[in-house]
Structure 1
Amino acid sequence: MSSPKTEFIVEDLISKIYQKRYSSGKLPPERELAELYNVSRYTIQKALKQLIGMGLLIPRQGNGVFINEKMSGNPLVFNSVTQVPYKDLKSQMLYLKKVPALPKLQRIFNLQDNEMVWEFCRIRIVNYQKTQIETGYIPCTLFPVMTSEVIEDSIQNFALEEGYRISHFMTNYSSTQLTREEADILNCRKNTPAFLIKSRGFLRDGSVFVSSEIIAINYECTYVVPFNKNIFHKRRRPG
């Protein structure tokens, strides 16, 4: 996780970008930002690195850091995992097995009674700390072959390599507490507060290619979304 100072700078710069405070499309130099926020240049560099990783900024060698205009007007979602470079994000598979699709999974993946799914469980390790336990399912109809290497690397990347076109993800967040088994895996105490994150990944044709539940600790998520006036007024109507 980032330090509170770095988190504040990231959020404040995002706010300023969406407010179009940098009309030139270019951020001030690192030294100027360090003076503005009363922090070291190293802290500024960490904040800028996160914003570059999100796609909001584009570095140009010898010319500074520029705002990515294609991204700055769009909805933005980032969390404590997506901010981490892949080199600092590891997965450890606990198991991978082929199982019959139960009725709930049949509905999710639009499968028949006799069709199978891959069930997997993996631990996500961020900066050498175990932070997530993910249990998920992948339809065998889309992926007849699945390996531990894929589970420990990237299911999304594997889907792209197989020629599928990913459309979007649907994610639900709720609060939970760690069970004894989960706490032992994550080296925490039982009943430690955690996020329960349910997610489904969709392909361009509407098919669901992965469905999973994640138990996460030390997790943060930030949204920047447009204001929807129609939904706001609809919610305000009596009855």
Structure 2
Amino acid sequence: MAKQVKDLTSLLTSGTKTNPLHLQIADLLRERIYSKAWPPATKIPSEHELVAMFSVSRGTVRKALKALVDEGLLVQVHGKGTFVAKPSVSHASGDRPLSFAESLRQQGMNFKTHVIEKRVTVPPIEVAHGLRLAPGDPSLFVRRLRTVDSAPVLCQESWSNLIACPGLADVDFTKTSMFDAVQQCSGRRISCSHMRYTARVAGKEHSALLDCDETAAVLVLEQKICLEGGTFIEWSTTWFPPGHVLTGIVAQPH
């Protein structure tokens, strides 16, 4: 873990022409949490280790950690250290997973899908566990941005089970929705999902995609989606721009 954080130090700037150093460090640590490189309950490096990694003062590190504690992303336990916070709200959505492509179509919106990133990779530990993949099993990571009239309406990041869905990596997701592609490649219908809604700070990476301020509060939806027969096929995280709400969502038809 220490190496993972140390590799990020090259992204720090002097702080004189951009955000203060403690906010830059908070951004870097926040992205480790958002990307699930640090799953819930992970103990992060100590203040002393972070000071050495980033070559900054202890006060700067403490300000960065406090910002993430105040956001609810980290929890500090006296005498034990600082840990990634566990999710506070979770519920199953029964047999009605959300297909945002279908929802936008039903609302008559002319949207475009931009594939920002697409690669076959070994998923983070938490994702692999959620998809019931063995260590080293491949997954397909896709980051897509959907826009309406050139304005972002959502950013979706997904990890998909390639073992249960061969051929998925060859799909053109600018033309085909993930839900449709999964059902075509697997030969089975999507049947259910588990959802979790959270409020987060956009952060540097997602604010650039959603065209908002880095400190803006945004709504994030996580879905863990099942095929018929109970096979977990996809873990997705959907980010919405500030001010957007989930209304008029159309369920995937059966």
Under TM normalisation by the shorter chain, which class is it? Answer: 0.5 to 0.7
Q: 1:141 to 1:195 in 2, by over 3 A?
A: same
Q: 1:170 to 1:77 in 2, by over 3 A?
A: closer
Structure with the bigger percentage of strand: 1
Instruction: Give the distance between the partners of 2:195 and 2:112, measured in 1 at CA.
Output: 21
Matching residue of 1:92: 114
- Structure number, greater radius of gyration: 1
Matching residue of 1:124: 146
Instruction: Give the distance between the partners of 2:136 and 2:214, measured in 1 at CA.
Output: 38
Residues 173-201 of structure 1: CA distance to partner in whole angstroms, max 9, x if unpaired?
A: 11112112222222222212210111111
| 2:97–2:192 contact (8 Å) kept in structure 1 | no
TM-score normalised per structure 1:
0.54
Instruction: Give the distance between the partners of 2:175 and 2:141, measured in 1 at CA.
Output: 14
Say which SS state the counterpart of residue 107 (structure 1) adopts.
Answer: helix
Q: 1:123 to 1:222 in 2, by over 3 A?
A: closer
Instruction: Give the distance between the partners of 1:76 and 1:120, measured in 2 at CA.
Output: 22
Q: 1:83 to 1:96 in 2, by over 3 A?
A: closer
- Aligned identity (percent) is 13
Aligned: 1:156 with 2:179: yes
5+ long unaligned stretches in structure 1: 1-74, 224-239
Say which SS state the counterpart of residue 127 (structure 2) adopts.
Answer: helix
Matching residue of 1:166: 190
| 2:189–2:227 contact (8 Å) kept in structure 1 | yes
Counterpart amino acid of residue 141 in structure 2: E
CA RMSD of aligned residues (A): 3.0
Matching residue of 2:208: 184
Instruction: Give the distance between the partners of 1:144 and 1:78, measured in 2 at CA.
Output: 22
Q: 1:85 to 1:212 in 2, by over 3 A?
A: same
Q: 1:198 to 1:144 in 2, by over 3 A?
A: same
Runs of 4+ with deviation above 6 angstroms: 75-81
Q: CA deviation at 1:89?
A: 2.4
Query: How many residues are treated as equivalent by the alignment?
Result: 150
Q: CA deviation at 1:83?
A: 4.4
Say which SS state the counterpart of residue 209 (structure 2) adopts.
Answer: helix
TM-score normalised per structure 2:
0.51
Matching residue of 2:221: 197
5+ long unaligned stretches in structure 2: 1-94, 249-254
Q: CA deviation at 1:144?
A: 2.9
